[in-house]
Structure 1
Amino acid sequence: MKSILLFLTVITLFSCDKMKPKSEKMSKKVVIAHRGASGYLPEHTMEAKAMAHAMNVDFIEQDLVLSKDDVPIVIHDIYLDDVTDVVTKFAERKRKDGRFYVIDFTFEELKTLQATERFNPKTGEQFYKKRFPKGLGNFKLHSLEEELQLIKGLNKSKGKNIGIYPEIKEPEFHKKEGKKLTEIVLKILSDYGYKTKTDNCILQCFDAKELERIRKELKSELFLVQLMEFPEETKQLTHFATYADGIGPWYKLILSEIVDEKHTFTSLVSDAHQLGLKVHPYTFRADQLAEFSSFEEMMQVLLIEANVDGAFTDFPDLMVDFLDN
């Protein structure tokens, strides 16, 4: 009888030991609310950020562009005319290329605009047709500081520790305009307590020279992620690892061909992991699936089978539920 009990105990412990790494591994995958809960509310609005916070994400993203008076504005692009009503309120302020630039407006002027669901500025057609209807609601642009106050306040009132994931947008454009976007952003982050890798802030940028400058010249100790868009960038991982802590690749850089009706993968994730880099691909959208039959399949293939460390998603609640279950 004792030998049987011993055998059962060993089997139980062995089974628990096999299950434990899987559980720990899953819990480490982070959910990043891409522009907030942008699948449900207009991107980068305070309402989208509050909704994302309520969905128990790990990080909330902030894309950052400077205003004329050097206020970091949370908006995806340097342009205004595809997410606001700037054309109707400041028609004379367009540049020679016909576009309206955030950097040409003061913060107070930007606050007068109505933010809305993303649309084609030439046709006026909403980009994601099944999302929050364009033109409805009373949404506004806001500053980085306003969003940090919101997140810190919600963390306090809800007893959470949800992090931030800011992006330095178009640093070369800002430099040509005589602006120091990066330095201004780093100062604000530091003022709000985001200084080191333990402060629940991940700073990202597509511009590799600028991200390297942030680490080596500006001496930032934040967790840095190098964003990647093109296949040729996958050959630069060793260099990225000299200053960055992770990479944020377009998810298609992870996928290879389909063999026997199953997705296969490039070596990007394994190569990054060997260099000690985390991998946070973008962007998981339930309404833009391309290579996948369902959002569940997309998450299963990339989060689990490809073994990435987390992901950017417009539908953070779906990813949180997927990982929890």
Structure 2
Amino acid sequence: MVGHRGAPGYMPEHTQGSYEEAIRLGADFVEPDVVATKDGHLVTRHDPVLTDSTDILAHPEFASRKRTVKFASFEVTDFFVADFTLAELKTLRCKQVMPGRDHSRDGQYPILTLEEMIDIVQAGAKEAGRTVGIYPEIKFPTFHRQAGLPIEDHLLDVLKKAGYTGVSSPVFIQSFEQGNLQYLKTKTDIRLMQLLDGSGTDPETGAVQFKPPSDRPYDWVLSGRAGTYADLLTPEGLDEVAKYATVVAPWKRHLLAFKKGADGTSQPVRRQDIVDNAHASGLKVHIWTMRNDAPHLDPYYNGDAIAEYLDFFRMGVDGVFTDFADTGVKAREAFLKERAR
């Protein structure tokens, strides 16, 4: 059970409160997304930009920092973490990014360095009397490398200093790109995980759709490699992933999507073959992201979030990323009881 960005169902993501809450709710791992500052520090933000998750707009002293960055198929206009020093970022405060969630703690928490995040998790694990791992994601690795702020080796240094050194350490490193994971495979025995995205599903068929920038790894775009993330979910693609990673983590709709039935109701479309083929390739399967909120939970479940977990557990997935770790833990308990009958 991975606390996705901590426990953002209840707290502003990637804050001390969010990480501590994830541990309290029973998460086995806590996920920090990792980006780099102008002066080379690693901080925990889901994106390399600041508007959605902080009070940057309330800081007129930074107004001139807003700029547009052009990627291969899109552009982003925002305040980029890479344009700020750690000291400057520490003057900002975090906020809840989901409109329908509790915003009462907005403005209470500062941005954290990765080292601070690890300290929080290790202290929380000690207090809880159990092992709690970390699951860092390298965000926008090509962007950071082009900005002269490569993350990979710095991340390994931080992890080593914190005691995470090999395959037995309670840590996974994840990325949506492929080349940086292949590089890390040559540098560390820490377990690696390949994320696989998608841009939506066809409401008539349930088929996953692929549109830029969520169609393929960004390093594929720059290298001219054709295809989509779906190519890494074929038997051949999964064998390719298994050469450098121990876990494949598809967006959950690759495995279980929904289409409109003849009566107009939502009907499931399951891809059991993907789970089976991944396991045959020696990979574990972790999915993302489980959320209780009505906008994210398909009407098929009639508001029963645990039922969604059970569907995936019955398919044989090995791990889940969740915004609500307590719901995930309850669902796992229900599944284990079901399996023991």
TM category, shorter: 0.7 to 0.9
Deviation larger for 53-62 or 223-232 = 223-232
Report how far residue 156 of structure 1 moved.
Answer: 2.1
Partners in 2 of 1:214 and 1:98 — Cα distance?
Answer: 30
After superposition, where does 1:69-148 map in structure 2 within 5 Å?
Answer: 69-89=39-59, 90-96=62-68, 98-118=77-97, 127-129=98-100, 131-133=101-103, 136-148=106-118
Q: Distance in 2 between matches of 1:135 and 1:41?
A: 7
Q: 1:300 aligns with which of 310, 315, 319?
A: 310
* More displaced 10-residue stretch of structure 1: 222-231 or 240-249: 222-231
Which residue of structure 2 aligns with residue 255 of structure 1?
256
- 2: CA distance between counterparts of 1:58 and 1:76? 20
One-letter amino acid of the counterpart of residue 268, structure 1: I
The aligned amino acid for 1:242 is K
Find the partner of 1:213 among 163, 183, 186.
Answer: 183
What RMSD, in angstroms, separates the aligned Cα atoms of the two structures?
1.8
Number of equivalenced pairs: 283
Residues 292/194 of structure 1: CA separation in 2 closer, same or farther (3 Å cut):
farther
- Residue 273, structure 1, aligned to residue 260, structure 2: no
Shift, 1:290, TM fit = 2.6
Question: Is residue 199 of structure 2 the alignment partner of residue 224 of structure 1?
Answer: no
Aligned partners of 2:126 and 2:144: how far apart in 1?
A: 34
Tell me the CA shift for residue 322 of structure 1: 1.6
3-state SS of 2:163 partner:
coil
SS in 2 for 1:271: helix
Which residue in 1 is equivalent to 2:122?
152
Deviation at 1:88, TM superposition (A): 2.4
CA distance in 2, matches of 1:150, 1:133: 22
Amino acid at match of 2:165: K
Partner of 1:121: none
Q: 1:248 to 1:291 in 2, by over 3 A?
A: farther
Question: Larger radius of gyration, structure 1 or 2?
Answer: 1
Task: After TM superposition, give the deviation of residue 100 of structure 1 in Å.
Answer: 0.3
Q: 2:31 maps to what in 1?
A: 61
Instruction: Report what 1:318 is aligned to.
Output: 327
User: Residue 10 of structure 1 corresponds to which residue in structure 2?
Assistant: none
The code of the aligned residue for 1:44 comes to H
Alignment TM-score, normalising by the size of structure 1: 0.83
Identity across the alignment (%): 34
Q: 1:285 aligns with which of 269, 275, 291?
A: 291
The Cα shift of 1:142 comes to: 0.5
Contact 1:256 1:266 in 2 (8 A): no
Structure 1: distance between partners of 2:318 and 2:36? 31
Change (3 A) 1:128 1:300: farther
- 1:36/1:135 CA distance change after superposition, 3 Å: closer
Please tell me the residue identity of whatever aligns with 1:85. Answer: D
Name the CA distance, whole Å, in 2 between partners of 1:321 and 1:266.
23
Say if 1:179 and 1:137 are closer, same or farther in 2 by CA, change over 3 A. Answer: closer
Q: Which amino acid aligns with 2:310?
A: Q
The answer to whether the Cα contact below 8 Å between 2:257 and 2:268 also exists between their aligned partners in 1 is: no
Q: Secondary structure at the match of 1:149?
A: helix
CA distance, structure 1, for counterparts of residue 19 and residue 130 of structure 2: 14
State the AA in 1 paired with 2:113.
S
Distance 1:157 1:234, change over 3 A: same
TM-score normalised to structure 2 length: 0.79
Distance 2:117 2:17 in 1: 10
Unmatched 5+ residue regions in structure 1?
1-30, 119-126
Q: Distance in 1 between matches of 2:52 and 2:291?
A: 19
In structure 2, the residue matched to 1:15 is none
Secondary structure of 1:248 counterpart: strand
Q: Give the SS at the match of 1:267.
A: helix
Confirm or deny that 1:246 pairs with 2:252. no
Helix, strand or coil for the counterpart of 1:92?
helix
Counterpart among 147, 154, 160 of residue 190 in structure 1: 160
Tell me if structure 1 keeps the 8 A contact 2:93–2:108. Answer: yes
Deviation at 1:234, TM superposition (A): 1.4
